[in-house]
Structure 1
């Protein structure tokens, strides 16, 4: 791998400091969000808090709820509506993780066994539905039709993105534009909504809503494109799942799209066998990585990610300088440079 690409995956002390600074800015609110999440996971049906708690306790940096908390600070909000809405965002995200792991037949997430690996497929699907319901209860409690509109639309778009990804999972003819459509729906929609509602609770004008929506969407796309690249470059311990899982599951990610487009017929035949026909054998992952290196597909994917990251940063230009704006900029840097 070219040294420039390798450098992207070395989250140095400065990158970690940026994340820690961001977390410190919302530490009090984030603790309230975590307590609310635990409270709202309670149910008379014991399996629900047990299974939901398994994935919530499994780690994660709470990036999406932090977006809501910091965006509300950026917009000068002084109340506490952001607490329930940040919890709502995390419930939506957790529900999608439960469903994703079942669809993808994943055994590992953030270095721990997935819920479906522990309880089978049925329970995680149903508990995911429960968490979606809890999210909508929190939206109703907030009482804002605008918030409800934004988060309900995001939930529908995410579901569409999941189905679209399922349809294109083994379609090696998927174009870069088509892949980005999936990413916008599956990942970026919740980033966008989480950021946008920070302006809504503060009663800010439509222009600021749109700026934060654009920030979140572009950040979410950059975040996912880095994930696409990490699947072929990170270590298992860093990635929190087995390296090459996307490849083995027949997922058409951006590095694969770019390598297929640049490859000769022999190379394309390899991608058709491994991705479309789902016929893999020993050594295929190493060969796939070699093809990605040959065509600079990982570096090109990271370049796309950096482009979207800069669009996210540019969307903040209309906001005044301050700790919240700096934190959102730091989050852009971290999402690009992260390796853990």
Structure 2
């Protein structure tokens, strides 16, 4: 690892402010549809805020490799559009009533319209990506979408059941870390040659091996995404409803066993394991309270274990870009893992 300093939050946001504003405008432009309800749902979701961490990663990856073309703005909007589509579908599947402190889109428009709006967002994202005329971009996005759908299906099959750590990490890679990884790899893919992709140029060929930059940036994204989801799962257990913007402990109520819970299941007493199994099976805190579950997790150091694991992945993300050229964008990439592990929502 080089000895360059890690950027501050204000430095990172100053660095990306203009690009992120352009991504917001591009997202809005791409979300316009002659069918008004599609535009309304997309605008509602976009106005809900969010960290925009996925387009931020794509921008940092592309900029760190010298990309100056508008492809970074278009692809930044693509990854945020894909993420937004997954949120729409997740809320329908989970029967969620709130998202980021407001009614979820399906509560407002109903499941039927929202599932179709989510499908539309997916297709619009791919249409925009297709216009880049870059086979690598399409390869990455197709593989990403397949893995995210597989992850959702796997999770549905395991609801209410006990899983081990290997199964947990496979799930969170597919559902979360894969998009972080591909966001970084897309930044590298559109930076290859740094000459821009004209409308009559098809870049890369299908099945071509990953470049060294795609490999290192992809590994960064993978490790960061795993850390991000572990923290998300911890916050679901420990934060309150107002901070989360949704009901706390939603994962347990939906029958999902996350890392701290799996750790406690493997180390707890018979009574501890039975209490956790009861919540997962009931999908409620009717017989065992949320506070009782937290006491079990604290007693066995399970929350500390999950935090240590997230921090280890965050550090692995930093190590993944050791060979990246030093500069302000590398300094920003070194800042992101700390942001991910220290957030409270």
TM-score under structure 2 length normalisation: 0.91
2:213 aligned residue = 208
Unmatched runs of 5 consecutive residues or more in structure 2? 1-5, 194-209
The whole-number CA distance in structure 1 between the counterparts of 2:240 and 2:131 is: 43
**Aligned counterpart for 1:44 among listed residues 31, 34, 44:** 34
Cα separation, 2, equivalents of 1:64 and 1:18: 19
What secondary structure, in the 3-state scheme, does the structure 1 residue paired with 2:192 have? coil
Q: In structure 2, how many angstroms separate the alpha carbons of the residues matched to 1:93 and 1:79?
A: 23
1:154-193 mapped onto 2 (5 Å cutoff): 154-172=144-162, 174-193=163-182
Deviations 1:208-251 (A, max 9, x none): 11000000010000000001111121122222212111111111
Q: Distance in 2 between matches of 1:18 and 1:187?
A: 25
Where do 1:4-19 residues align within 5 Å?
18-19=8-9
Residue matched to 1:152: 142
Mapped to 2, the partners of 1:78 and 1:36 lie a distance apart of 16
Q: Pick which of 217-226 and 252-261 moved more.
A: 252-261
Alignment equivalent of 2:301, drawn from 293, 296, 307: 296
TM-aligned CA deviation for residue 43 of structure 1: 1.0
Shift of residue 276, structure 1, vs aligned partner: 2.5
Among candidates 16, 30, 35, match of residue 25 of structure 2: 35
Q: Distance in 1 between matches of 2:159 and 2:128?
A: 33
Does structure 2 retain, via aligned residues, the 8 Å contact 1:18–1:331? no
Q: Please say if residues 188 and 220 of structure 1, whose CA atoms lie closer than 8 Å, have aligned partners that are also in contact.
A: yes
Q: Secondary structure at the match of 2:331?
A: helix
Q: Does 1:272 align with 2:261?
A: no
Tell me the TM-score normalized by structure 1: 0.92
Distance 1:20 1:118 in 2: 36
Is 1:78 paired with 2:68? yes
Structure 1 unaligned segments of length 5 or more: list them.
1-14
Match for residue 195 of structure 1? 184
- Within the candidate set 254, 278, 286, 2:259 is matched to 254
Q: Output the CA distance in 2 between the equivalents of 1:241 and 1:279.
A: 16
Query: Does the Cα contact within 8 Å between 2:144 and 2:179 map onto a contact in 1?
Result: yes
The answer to which of 204-213 and 37-46 deviates more is 204-213
Is 1:134 aligned with 2:124? yes
Other structure's SS at 2:230 match: helix
Q: How far 1:152 moved relative to its partner?
A: 1.3
Cα distance in 1 between the residues matched to 2:20 and 2:232: 25
Question: Residue 169 of structure 1: CA displacement?
Answer: 1.8
Shift of 1:292: 0.7
Match of 1:82, SS state, is: helix
Counterpart in the other structure of 1:307? 312
CA distance in 2 between partners of 1:67 and 1:200 (Å): 13
Aligned with 1:26: secondary structure? helix
Name the CA distance, whole Å, in 2 between partners of 1:279 and 1:29: 43
**1:109-159 deviations in whole A, cap 9, x for unaligned?**
111111112122111111000000011001101110011101111111111
Distance in 2, matches of 1:325 and 1:52, equals: 32
C-alpha distance in 2, partners of 1:141/1:18? 35
1:119 aligns to what? 109
